[in-house]
């Protein structure tokens, strides 16, 4: 069924994709422990392999917008010249294959590891919208209004550097999975009483201001936002996310109708866990966001198969993000189109650290199998 919309071109921002299969953002632990510099020798090969089918959109793993945004060992950053220079080699390699690459902008908020922060810089605090902790971590300090405004500028600077210095085609604001933007949006993590908490409008304010700041820095057509309305990962999960996310997406549409795309995590996925259909309540659907955002580009991520990806692309018009199977099939776009068997992935290699090829750049292409 190669006439499926999944294999047809679509315009995303100022880019024309040759099909509707994208690489989902995936943390792979392939940056230096302290400097958070991508290991170019393997990272460049990893992304260029997955961009080998021209016209493919790749979304990077989350890159920290600043040291204070929360750091994880072996995760990449986007705030030093050395980091930007490494990323430039990666983007050049992807562009040489005729494909495109967006950088995901990451700030952890209360999901950061306080000990890792202190190792980086003893002055760094664990922070969030409110002093509400994740069950297994310390209680964060609530951000001051001044610090919130500083974050706007940090996001804008990171976006500008990603596009204008590192050569990315655009940026995706990580507003999903219980990280900083998501924390402000949801009432389970935001109990502020100022202009950034309380009402839906106030809780959405931070995320909308971040989008505004990034758009000012790089333009709407180079800006995207990821969100996960139904996820309970990182102790998230409002009783009814529909009113909040309806307002949030409606405001993004009103302010920036030509945004590159919105990226949704499907309800069946929460963190690294995929739920079976009988575990999902009938009301848990992202269709309310699709209805608001249509006919604009929308990426959907969530344990897709070839069949479910084609069905969703054909019936809803979505672009489909593949993660785990894109790891083990660098030419998954070709395999899906030709209905070829997919190489199984090895979860034990997902987070191997260092400049290692195993489970990263050693999966074969179909032509080499």
Q: Which residues are catalytic?
A: 179
Residues 6+ apart with CB under 8 A from 66: 77, 79, 107, 154, 158
CA nearest to 38, candidates 101, 99, 117: 101
Q: Which alpha helices (DSSP H) does 103-144 contain, by range?
A: 114-120
CB atoms within 10 A of CB 135: 6
* Pair of tokens at residue 259: 């945004």
- Residue 12: its H or E element: strand 10-12
CA nearest to 323, candidates 104, 108, 155: 104
Residues 6+ apart with CB under 8 A from 241: 186, 229, 230
CA distances 308 to 1, 50, 282, 300, 304, Å, are 13, 21, 18, 11, 6
Could you tell me which residues are beta bridge partners of residue 159?
A: none
Residues 223 and 259 sit within 8 Å (Cβ to Cβ):
yes
Residues 12 and 262 sit within 8 Å (Cβ to Cβ):
no
């Amino acid at each position: 069924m190669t006439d499926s919309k999944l294999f047809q071109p679509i315009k995303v921002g100022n880019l024309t994709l040759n099909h509707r299969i994208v690489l989902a953002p995936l943390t792979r632990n392939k940056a230096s422990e302290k400097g958070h510099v991508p290991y170019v020798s393997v990272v460049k090969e990893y992304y260029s392999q997955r961009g080998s089918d021209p016209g493919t959109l790749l979304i990077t793993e989350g890159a920290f917008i600043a040291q204070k945004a929360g750091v994880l060992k072996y995760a990449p950053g986007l705030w030093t010249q050395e980091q930007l220079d490494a990323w430039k080699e990666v983007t050049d390699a992807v562009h040489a294959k005729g494909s495109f690459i967006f950088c995901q902008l990451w700030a952890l908020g209360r999901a950061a590891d306080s000990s890792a922060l202190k190792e980086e810089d003893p002055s760094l605090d664990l922070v969030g919208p409110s002093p509400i902790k994740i069950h297994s971590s310390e209680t964060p300090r609530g951000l001051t209004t001044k610090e919130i405004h500083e974050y706007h500028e940090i996001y804008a600077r990171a976006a500008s550097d990603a596009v204008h210095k590192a050569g990315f085609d655009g940026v995706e604001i990580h507003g999903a999975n219980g990280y900083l933007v998501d924390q402000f949006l949801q009432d389970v993590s935001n109990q502020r009483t100022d202009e950034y908490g309380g009402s839906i409008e106030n809780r959405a304010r931070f995320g909308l201001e971040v989008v505004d700041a990034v758009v000012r820095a790089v333009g709407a057509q180079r800006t995207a936002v990821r969100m996960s309305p139904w996820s309970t990962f990182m102790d998230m999960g409002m009783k009814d996310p529909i009113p909040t996310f309806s307002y949030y997406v409606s405001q993004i549409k009103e302010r920036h109708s030509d945004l590159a795309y919105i990226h949704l995590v499907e309800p069946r996925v929460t963190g690294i866990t995929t739920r079976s259909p009988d575990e999902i309540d009938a009301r848990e659907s992202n269709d309310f966001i699709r209805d608001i955002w249509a006919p604009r580009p929308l990426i959907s991520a969530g344990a897709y198969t070839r069949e479910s990806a084609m069905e969703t692309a054909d019936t809803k018009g979505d672009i489909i993000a593949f993660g785990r199977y894109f790891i083990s099939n660098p030419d998954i776009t070709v395999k899906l189109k030709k209905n070829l068997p997919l190489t199984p992935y090895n979860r034990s290699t997902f987070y191997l650290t260092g400049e290692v090829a195993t489970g990263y750049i050693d999966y074969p292409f179909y032509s080499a199998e």
